[in-house]
Chain A
């Protein structure tokens, strides 16, 4: 079986204990406005273009079997025409790595082989593999195969999840996951639906069940100005987390690093412009959560 993976990042030190390798699954049931990995949302491979690396040789357009690429007046890929060829025709034609195909097919063995290359670093730091995304549960069968292989290899496993899926799918992963990094974005169902497309009942319900069933959880709150950063909402999220019996919380401040990717992926949309919280504002939110006896760090 193959999985569609959009990146494998070695030396990841902010998603779980120690030094880890992050494996990014492609495909996400949510479409959060602020998403910093917009290329992760679609399940299919898709082209991504970096104008700074391009030397304008035009080979990608020449080689594209469906004529989806035009290089003048501005470089443009018509995604409706793109066949996302299995042999990655345009990306293979690109000599300067300006054009890449995001989302490659891997077998579980291939991933485990790559992840294990850093085994010596995991041993010294309690690190391991972090499954990230997108949302890995979207590719549940492949995910299960990968997790079983990781278990056989004795790798420490962490998984980032938005928990927007059936409970049964999460339950299946439980014997194989050492730490869950669960996103908690909002407590208000309407707002959650509007900005992420997620169903609060499912999202929050899954976290509660995961906690009840003994999952080791670190809750992560993305701090999205204009969405969930007012003090009342932070308090509400904190109470929900504490109510689940979760102790560890990480605040992830909003950043704009993903903005250029919308253009690079020809998505014809852009996230709303927001200003990240200042250190002082962040500290204020942390203090609210600390009042709830939560162990808060900035991730």
Chain B
């Protein structure tokens, strides 16, 4: 790492996210000014106004420019989606135990003035107006979490290569021609015409935004000395050229990429805006630079500058959201390696450089991922393992041999499937062709289990949120069927809610900028929110699968096989949180096999539960005629559900978290080491988990040290993927270090750990999550 990057990195780590009111103010004005326009044009004009009026800055040392808010790690506010929680929590953002945001008196005053104007006009209120009371009740009891209710949808990877290779002028010509062919006397073309207009507005706005930076750089150059002066002039030149035109140099490509990536965040409040196959669409310009004699060190520096920009992006979340997504993660998933449409490996110099820069800078963003297939070269595997050993929970490893068939099965061509990337945590995606609605939300599987045990009643709140299924069961099969009924009922409610949310988004907040870079939107003249994308999916996720499987096996064995306890006794013990029944709890914990230990009986039970979850959710048709594609990943929602759940039959008490990750075993129950754990995970039906299956494995540093450790890490991943699993990520952290970091957060401001599908700074996490990370089984050397 050179001095420039060291300075930029240190500055970045020292910054705390701070709420910036500027966007909220401009959007409020824009909605007053343009209120008569159709939604698409209103959104386009709003983005245009933001990009024209927002403060811009170029910080010292920066080579890649473009800011999201008026200060670094400034966190913009999106009142159009919801304001109730922001107003409610306005005085609490700075006092949170975790995921704090600074908020100055001036910014607070602006928010107090503009936010009330939004009451009754937000996406959230529109969605809630069509959501039935029973669904609201079930959500209040946390049977499921509807994550996209109060913010933008994000979660996409677009055609960055189209921008880099062609430039916006090309796109503007295309749009102009499309618009010219519209015949508004046909009603359909009227809407198409409006859509094209919205696209043209945002494309031009993007060019103007870049020009503002060019002007600022020139202005700063005039007041600067060499060598900074030359750097600023080069920045100005680049910003005058891209994103308007095709990028030629590496700096141009990165800058062009960044303007689009940044403006996508500003448009729709993502998270999980994912760069996708970054190494593939930047390699042309990298090679061009090499031919011109630019040094690899220079490219590394440019890449490092971009990485710091990734780490400046911030999103405001409500208190609940900050628990579900601990530590300000933005899930900007950037994937390297993999194969081309013909199945040949495409690892290149930029792939390796991305690994190197990630391992050196140790920032929590971007989320580095790596594609792994039979032809992946050793150099790539080793570079990735080096990153893993850096102890920042990256890269996330993805198995081409498992994911390509999954995408084929949901309708993609072989060529498209081979070109997949990942969005957010572990959501398989074909960039620029899909709207996957990955923020559909989470099902709290253990809550559904409670409903089955307690005849539709939530034992924690005492409310009837499920359906009656009876209290006596003939055999385990009978009980399991009751569980399926509850599951399907909760899914009915969840699917209803998601459709309502999407309905509100499509009616009120189309996203023209995203639509410009997703295939078929322009062809069809339709915004992505309204179904313009080539492929459309809706993707919910399951939380607590391991606890569900383990609980089912306890019920099967102890209640129905050896009749040691009746269902009534089970209910009694769960209701009192096993108080006075510690020996029984221990028996449930230790006397029945547990998922994660390569025990076929336990693993099969968990497999069935996961499989049925996925199959049951695939019965629905979502908004945009999307098919439902469920996944087994919990992000950190498992931490959120803790208060809402009672004890479960697997021996988990009320106070304990449900399993993390998605397909990871319950905390501390995998006692046979990572190979057994991986074999268990591989026994699940990964093919059905079309929205990803997430495994966290935690290692003590001694396990992976030295050349041998590196080889073992590669071998472990190789073997696991040969078994057909989709994903794995490693946390190489010493629990003593983590405990010390809890005590002395000041010493560990740069300690990055993997929470689930993402890495964050450990010290910014809530103490519950911190403890959870420490307690997850740590596989030490034997």
Which residues of A does B touch, CB under 8 Å? 9-15, 17-19, 22, 55, 57, 59, 95-97, 117-118, 120-121, 123-125, 127, 297
Given A10-B673, A118-B675: A123 and B719 within 8 A (CB)?
Answer: yes
Which 4 pairs show the lowest CB-CB distances between chains A and B? A125-B715, A11-B673, A124-B715, A95-B586
B723 touches A120 (CB 8 A): yes
Q: A117-B598, A124-B714 are in contact. List 8 more A-B contacts (CB 8 A).
A: A13-B708, A13-B712, A13-B782, A14-B782, A55-B582, A120-B722, A121-B716, A124-B716
Quick one: closest A residue to B677, CB to CB? A11
B782 touches A11 (CB 8 A): yes
B782 touches A121 (CB 8 A): no
Q: How far is the CA of A12 from the CA of B673 in the complex (A)?
A: 9
- Chain A residues whose CB sits within 8 angstroms of the CB of B674 once the complex forms: 11
Quick one: closest A residue to B584, CB to CB? A95
Given A11-B673, A13-B703: A95 and B719 within 8 A (CB)?
Answer: no
Given A18-B712, A22-B782, A95-B583: A11 and B590 within 8 A (CB)?
Answer: no
- Chain B residues whose CB sits within 8 angstroms of the CB of A96 once the complex forms: 583, 586, 589-590
**Residue among A10, A14, A55 making CB contact with B781, cutoff 8 Å:** A14
A224 to chain B, nearest CB (A): 20
Quick one: closest B residue to A22, CB to CB? B782
Interface residue ranges of B83-121 to A (CB < 8 Å): none
Q: How far is the CA of A230 from the CA of B679 in the complex (A)?
A: 46
Q: Is B38 positioned at the interface, with any CB of A under 8 Å from its CB?
A: no
Q: How far is the CA of A9 from the CA of B711 in the complex (A)?
A: 20
B596 to chain A, nearest CB (A): 12
Given A19-B716, A97-B590, A125-B711: A13 and B676 within 8 A (CB)?
Answer: no
B719 touches A121 (CB 8 A): yes
B782 touches A12 (CB 8 A): yes
B712 touches A19 (CB 8 A): yes
7 A–B contact pairs at CB < 8 A? A9-B782, A11-B675, A11-B782, A19-B715, A95-B590, A120-B723, A297-B706
Query: Majority SS of interface residues in chain B?
Result: helix
B680 to chain A, nearest CB (A): 11
Of listed A17, A57, A59, A95, residue having the most chain B CB within 10 A: A95
A54 to chain B, nearest CB (A): 10
- Chain A residues whose CB sits within 8 angstroms of the CB of B590 once the complex forms: 95-97
Q: How far is the CA of A13 from the CA of B674 in the complex (A)?
A: 12
Q: How far is the CA of A9 from the CA of B712 in the complex (A)?
A: 16
Contact indicator per residue, chain B 586-601, by CB within 8 Å of chain A (1) or not (0): 1101110000001000
- Chain B residues whose CB sits within 8 angstroms of the CB of A22 once the complex forms: 782
Q: Is B718 positioned at the interface, with any CB of A under 8 Å from its CB?
A: yes
Interface residue ranges of B620-678 to A (CB < 8 Å): 672-676
Q: How far is the CA of A181 from the CA of B35 in the complex (A)?
A: 79
Given A18-B711, A95-B587, A96-B586: A10 and B675 within 8 A (CB)?
Answer: yes
Q: How far is the CA of A142 from the CA of B589 in the complex (A)?
A: 34
Q: How far is the CA of A11 from the CA of B678 in the complex (A)?
A: 11
Q: Is B779 positioned at the interface, with any CB of A under 8 Å from its CB?
A: yes
- Chain B residues whose CB sits within 8 angstroms of the CB of A118 once the complex forms: 675-676, 679
Which residues of B does A touch, CB under 8 Å? 582-584, 586-587, 589-591, 598, 672-676, 679, 703, 706, 708-709, 711-712, 714-716, 718-719, 722-723, 779, 781-782
- Chain B residues whose CB sits within 8 angstroms of the CB of A59 once the complex forms: 583
B373 to chain A, nearest CB (A): 15
Q: How far is the CA of A205 from the CA of B510 in the complex (A)?
A: 82
- Chain B residues whose CB sits within 8 angstroms of the CB of A12 once the complex forms: 781-782
- Chain A residues whose CB sits within 8 angstroms of the CB of B676 once the complex forms: 10-11, 117-118
A10 touches B708 (CB 8 A): no
A81 to chain B, nearest CB (A): 25
B453 to chain A, nearest CB (A): 22
Q: How far is the CA of A57 from the CA of B589 in the complex (A)?
A: 16
Q: How far is the CA of A185 from the CA of B601 in the complex (A)?
A: 45
Q: How far is the CA of A120 from the CA of B683 in the complex (A)?
A: 14
Of listed A14, A123, A124, residue having the most chain B CB within 10 A: A124
Q: How far is the CA of A202 from the CA of B679 in the complex (A)?
A: 43
- Chain B residues whose CB sits within 8 angstroms of the CB of A19 once the complex forms: 675, 712, 715-716
Q: How far is the CA of A15 from the CA of B782 in the complex (A)?
A: 8
- Chain B residues whose CB sits within 8 angstroms of the CB of A55 once the complex forms: 582-583, 586
Q: How far is the CA of A55 from the CA of B584 in the complex (A)?
A: 11
- Chain A residues whose CB sits within 8 angstroms of the CB of B723 once the complex forms: 120
B679 touches A117 (CB 8 A): yes
B277 to chain A, nearest CB (A): 26
- Chain B residues whose CB sits within 8 angstroms of the CB of A13 once the complex forms: 703, 708-709, 712, 781-782
Quick one: closest B residue to A96, CB to CB? B586
Quick one: closest B residue to A15, CB to CB? B782
Quick one: closest A residue to B589, CB to CB? A96
Q: How far is the CA of A97 from the CA of B587 in the complex (A)?
A: 9
B638 to chain A, nearest CB (A): 25
- Chain A residues whose CB sits within 8 angstroms of the CB of B589 once the complex forms: 96
B120 to chain A, nearest CB (A): 56
Quick one: closest B residue to A118, CB to CB? B675
B715 touches A121 (CB 8 A): yes
Q: How far is the CA of A17 from the CA of B708 in the complex (A)?
A: 8
- Chain B residues whose CB sits within 8 angstroms of the CB of A124 once the complex forms: 714-716, 718-719, 722
Of listed A11, A120, A124, residue having the most chain B CB within 10 A: A11
- Chain A residues whose CB sits within 8 angstroms of the CB of B706 once the complex forms: 297
Quick one: closest B residue to A58, CB to CB? B583
Q: How far is the CA of A96 from the CA of B591 in the complex (A)?
A: 9
- Chain B residues whose CB sits within 8 angstroms of the CB of A14 once the complex forms: 781-782
- Chain A residues whose CB sits within 8 angstroms of the CB of B587 once the complex forms: 95
- Chain B residues whose CB sits within 8 angstroms of the CB of A297 once the complex forms: 706
Q: How far is the CA of A229 from the CA of B716 in the complex (A)?
A: 36
Q: How far is the CA of A119 from the CA of B722 in the complex (A)?
A: 12
A133 to chain B, nearest CB (A): 14
- Chain A residues whose CB sits within 8 angstroms of the CB of B718 once the complex forms: 124
Quick one: closest A residue to B711, CB to CB? A125
B703 touches A57 (CB 8 A): no
B711 to chain A, nearest CB (A): 7
- Chain A residues whose CB sits within 8 angstroms of the CB of B782 once the complex forms: 9, 11-15, 22
Q: How far is the CA of A130 from the CA of B679 in the complex (A)?
A: 20
B719 touches A9 (CB 8 A): no
Quick one: closest B residue to A9, CB to CB? B782
- Chain A residues whose CB sits within 8 angstroms of the CB of B673 once the complex forms: 9-11
